[in-house]
Amino acid sequence: MSTHETYNTSDLPQASFLHAAGIPLVKIERIDERRSEFQFEHTADIQKLLQIFASGREVSMVPSRLLASHKHLKSLLWSQP
């Protein structure tokens, strides 16, 4: 099993949620001008968190924390060479 979970730019909401939930971000890799990949450390909690996200219950997380994670990932994304 992979030690990383990879999400592309279109998965930014999921990536933001995982980041806000404390899943360690390993790296961001720019694929081309429009796409990047976010790699997170694979943890035991990741599938449970993705089920929460899919059910729409992620709103129970503090909205400011989700917004901060989203902004942080976007700033990392745009700072990639």
pLDDT tens digits for 4-63?
778 777 888 888 888 888 889 898 888 887 788 888 998 888 888 888 888 877 666 667
> Taking the domains of the chain in order of start, what are their residue ranges?
4-78
Outline where the chain has alpha helix (H): 12-20, 46-55, 63-78
Specify the pLDDT at position 1. Answer: 42
Do residues 73 and 15 make contact, with C-beta atoms less than 8 angstroms apart?
yes
Specify the pLDDT at position 10. Answer: 80
